[in-house]
């Protein structure tokens, strides 16, 4: 890995991707896999531009963020089209129209389509957005899919609760999960004589003191630390978890009823991060989002990133190889050496388009995606994370790195992404970090203002 100078000149040159983590950019494409068959006739939908159930075939639409990995050199949607073809072969009375959407424009596209009455039937996304749609009355309840047998198979109350709205009903059907973590470059650490600062055994837990020692050694050796990225919402879950872990703070209380980041640990963490940026140990990321921070890391321009997951490791493997970088995944450092990690849940929801036949067909499609004997496990592996169903077993047998990621589930923290007003809260997060990094506000004043606005967002969403 090469030593480099300041990133100031590179910030304006970067427009890149972050699949599956709420930020980045990928071209949108549409694929239609047609088939014919027979089924009971269903009512048509009056929404402009939306498919209807009519005649002998029910037609539904599926909008998919780029969460499934594609084969090398295949465009977005190629693998998803294979899923559609397999489903339609088994269900010739249902036609699925596929469209891939990206993490940059996708959320706005969905919002606009909801307002216009042209939204899709099936969406593949995460609870943060899905449950907000449920809270606004836009989704079909999926309670009938959560049988006692299925709930027992998942055997994870926190994860199951992330799929519920506050009315107690399920609105997201999960398929896979994994913790968010960070990654460091082995080449940079070895060149800086800093390998002794990290833990490469077991769960690889480490302390904030060890992390700070690593920062100093990397800086002395001429390496850039990660950006404290905060140009927008892309990947913001990673940097929030980094902040909260440093001195054992929490974004919310354990009951997930109010924001609490302005506690002693949160203020101390933001103060320390400001010191690190001023010292040059980390970089002011006011011009970077999470995807761009990851890009800097895999290009060899920074020695570590605070946004990583097994999915990202898979998606960026070729670039890392080309740049001769070995990424070592680590949980976030914490004062006591025991991390509390945010985590990804991938899953599906069904929009209420006023057509019962389409809703039932959509549920059948989701069941195929998640539970088909052949395609269920294949689809989990394509997300590069882990099945929510215990009976799927170990899908990465013999892969020591995936076993490490699997072990991080024991450090899952309370899942706050479904709290009322979550989407509004995110709009206050990155301006708060920018104010701290740019010296426009003290860490204490900035985080107090953030918590006040974030808690008001809960009340606003009631």
Model pLDDT for residues 179-194, shown as the tens digit of each residue: 999 999 999 999 999 9
Quick check: is 111 in a domain?
no
CB atoms inside a 10 Å sphere around CB 324: 11
Dihedral of the CA atoms 262, 263, 265, 266 (nearest 10)? -10
DSSP 8-state secondary structure symbol assigned to residue 375: H
Tens digit of each residue's pLDDT (9 = 90 or more) over 411-447: 999 889 889 899 899 999 999 999 999 999 999 999 9
Does residue 3 belong to any structural domain of this protein?
A: no
Q: Are residues 172 and 268 in the same domain?
A: no
Percent of the chain clearing pLDDT 90 (strictly above): 74
Q: Is 318 exposed, middle or buried (0-12, 13-18, 19+ CB in 10 A)?
A: exposed
CB-based burial, 229-239: b 16+ in 10 Å, e otherwise: bbbbbbbbbbb
Give the per-residue pLDDT at 106: 85
One domain, residues 371 and 323: no
Cα gap 416→21, rounded to integer Å: 16
Residues 118-171: tens digit of each pLDDT: 999 999 998 988 998 999 999 999 999 999 999 999 998 889 999 999 899 999
Q: Are strands 122-125 and 386-387 parallel, antiparallel or unpaired?
A: unpaired
The answer as to whether 113 is a domain residue is no
pLDDT for 17 beyond 60: no
**Number of domains observed in the structure of the chain:** 2
Range of the domain at 389: 29-101+120-177+345-403
pLDDT tens profile 222-237: 999 999 999 998 889 9
The reply to whether 431 and 322 lie within a common domain is yes
- pLDDT tier at 32, thresholds 50, 70, 90: very low
Cβ atoms < 10 Å from Cβ of 101 = 25
Question: pLDDT band at residue 4, thresholds of 50, 70 and 90?
Answer: very low
| CATH label of the domain that carries residue 61 | 3.40.190.10
- Residue 396 clears pLDDT 60, i.e. is over it: yes
Q: Which of 440, 433, 412, 449 is nearest to 236 (CA)?
A: 433
pTM, to two decimals:
0.78
Same domain, 307 and 279: yes
On whether both 284 and 432 belong to a single domain, the answer is yes
- Structural domain includes residue 56: yes
Looking at the structure, do residues 201 and 267 belong to the same domain, yes or no?
yes
Whether 324 maps to a domain, the answer reads yes
| Residue 64 forms part of a structural domain | yes
Predicted pLDDT of residue 54: 53
Q: Say yes or no: 218 and 311 in one domain.
A: yes
Encoding tokens for residue 368? 């195929």
Point out which residues pair with 330 in neighbouring strands.
Answer: 182
Is 45 in the same domain as 185? no
**pLDDT tens-place string over residues 235-267:** 899 999 999 999 999 999 999 999 999 999 999
Judgement on whether residues 153 and 188 belong to the same structural domain of the protein: no
The model's pLDDT over 312-357, given as tens digits with 9 standing for 90+, comes to: 998 899 999 999 999 999 999 999 999 999 998 999 999 999 999 9
* Token pair listed for 356: 């019962």
Same domain flag for 273 and 399: no
Domain membership of residue 249 (yes or no) is: yes
Query: Mean pLDDT, to the nearest integer, of 83-95?
Result: 98
Query: For position 55, what pLDDT does the model report?
Result: 59
Res 424: pLDDT: 93
Rounded-to-integer distance, Cα 169 and Cα 166, Å: 8
Inside any domain, residue 361: yes
- Residue 73: what pLDDT? 79
Residues 262 and 166 in one domain: no
82 plus 145 within the same structural domain: yes
């Amino acid at each position: 890995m090469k030593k480099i100078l300041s990133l100031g000149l590179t910030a304006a040159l970067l427009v890149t991707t972050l699949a599956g983590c709420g930020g980045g950019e990928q071209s949108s494409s549409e694929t239609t896999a047609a088939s014919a068959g027979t089924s009971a006739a269903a009512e048509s939908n009056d929404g402009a531009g939306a498919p209807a159930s009519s005649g002998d075939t029910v037609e539904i639409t599926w909008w998919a963020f780029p969460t499934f990995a594609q084969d090398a050199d295949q465009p977005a949607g190629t693998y998803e089209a294979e899923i559609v073809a397999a489903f339609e072969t088994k269900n010739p009375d249902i036609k699925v129209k596929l469209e891939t959407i990206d993490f940059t424009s996708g959320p706005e596209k969905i919002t606009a389509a909801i307002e216009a009455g042209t939204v899709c039937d099936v969406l593949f996304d995460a609870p943060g957005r899905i449950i907000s749609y449920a809270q606004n009355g836009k989704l079909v309840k999926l309670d009938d899919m959560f049988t006692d047998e299925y709930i027992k198979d998942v055997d994870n109350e926190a994860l199951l609760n992330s799929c519920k709205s506050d009315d107690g009903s399920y609105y997201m059907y999960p398929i896979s999960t994994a913790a968010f973590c960070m990654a460091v470059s082995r080449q940079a650490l070895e060149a800086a004589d800093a390998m002794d600062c990290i833990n490469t055994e077991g769960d690889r837990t480490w302390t904030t003191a060890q992390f700070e020692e690593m920062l100093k050694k990397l800086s002395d050796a001429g390496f850039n630390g990660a950006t404290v990225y905060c140009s927008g919402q892309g990947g913001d879950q990673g940097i929030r978890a980094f902040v909260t872990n440093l001195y054992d703070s929490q974004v919310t209380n354990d009951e997930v009823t109010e924001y609490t980041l302005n506690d002693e640990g949160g203020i101390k963490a933001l103060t320390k991060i400001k010191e690190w940026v001023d010292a040059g140990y980390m970089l002011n990321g006011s011009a970077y989002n999470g995807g761009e921070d990851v890009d800097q890391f895999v290009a060899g321009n920074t020695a570590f990133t605070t946004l990583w997951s097994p999915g990202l490791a898979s998606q960026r493997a070729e670039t890392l190889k080309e740049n001769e970088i070995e990424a070592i995944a680590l949980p976030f450092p914490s004062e006591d050496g025991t991390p509390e990690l945010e985590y990804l849940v991938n899953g599906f929801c069904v929009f209420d388009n006023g057509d019962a036949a389409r809703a039932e067909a959509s549920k059948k499609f989701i069941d195929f995606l998640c539970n088909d004997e052949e395609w269920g496990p294949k689809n989990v592996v394509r997300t590069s994370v882990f099945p929510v169903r215990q009976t799927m077993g170990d899908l990465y047998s013999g892969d020591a790195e995936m076993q490490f990621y699997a072990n991080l589930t024991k450090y899952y923290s309370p899942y706050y992404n479904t709290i009322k007003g979550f989407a509004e809260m995110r709009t206050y997060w990155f301006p708060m970090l920018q104010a701290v990094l740019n010296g426009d506000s003290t860490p204490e004043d900035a985080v107090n203002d953030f918590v006040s606005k974030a808690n008001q967002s809960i009340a606003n969403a009631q």
